[in-house]
């Protein structure tokens, strides 16, 4: 049965996000530090885990995205692996292409707004204005969607294209 979840009656999932940040700015500034230092361990640690995706994120995605209403394990794993691989690809591409050595957050906006789910919010279309070591301001879109749960924050993804 593809539509076995009744989205209008979903109760919020009480599971907290592990190793999350207390503000979006703190999360984003940590990511920028990771890009400056080319620290893939730090940058991947900012992402939600497989368990968080499967236990918290995916079960509620169907409230906004009909393709995610299929609750079969194989389908959930397909979406997790696709999202994770695309995210890691975006991260590695940015590290390869990034020329700037110092990245200072100037402004942060969510061009696509915020999607509300029973247990969390997704801040989407993340756009950062960054000041570089030369004083130039650049638009940085590699930081993808940000998950907000119980006033804590983690990255859902890195974008693989602008």
In terms of Cβ atoms closer than 10 Å to its own Cβ (0-12, 13-18, 19+), residue 52 is buried
How many residues does the structure list for the chain?
162
pLDDT digits (tens, 9 = 90+) for 51-106: 998 898 888 877 666 666 667 787 778 888 988 999 999 999 999 998 888 999 99
* Cα–Cα dist 158/162, whole Å: 11
Q: Where are the domains positioned within the chain?
A: 20-155
* Cα–Cα dist 115/99, whole Å: 33
Sequence-distant (6+) residues with CB within 8 A of 71 are: 2, 4, 5, 59
CATH topology of domain 20-155: Nuclear Transport Factor 2; Chain: A, (3.10.450)
Question: Structure pTM?
Answer: 0.87
Strands 137-140 and 121-132: antiparallel
* Chain position carrying tokens 């503000």: 23
- Asked whether the beta carbons of 24 and 146 are under 8 A apart, the reply is yes
pLDDT digits (tens, 9 = 90+) for 127-152: 999 999 999 999 999 999 999 999 99
């Amino acid at each position: 049965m593809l539509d076995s979840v009744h989205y209008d009656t979903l109760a919020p999932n009480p599971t907290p996000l592990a190793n999350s940040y207390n503000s979006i700015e703190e999360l984003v500034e940590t990511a920028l530090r990771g890009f400056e230092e080319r620290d893939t361990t730090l940058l991947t640690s900012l992402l939600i885990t497989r368990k968080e995706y499967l236990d918290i994120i995916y079960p509620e995605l169907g409230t906004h995205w009909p393709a995610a209403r299929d609750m079969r394990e194989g389908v959930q794993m397909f979406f997790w692996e696709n999202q994770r691989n695309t995210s890691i690809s975006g991260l590695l591409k940015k590290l390869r292409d990034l020329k700037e050595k110092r990245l200072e957050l100037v402004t942060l906006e969510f061009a696509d707004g915020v999607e509300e789910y029973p247990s969390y919010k997704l801040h989407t279309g993340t756009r950062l204005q960054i000041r570089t070591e030369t004083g130039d301001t650049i638009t940085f879109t590699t930081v993808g969607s940000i998950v907000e749960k119980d006033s804590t924050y983690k990255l859902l993804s890195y974008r693989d294209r602008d």
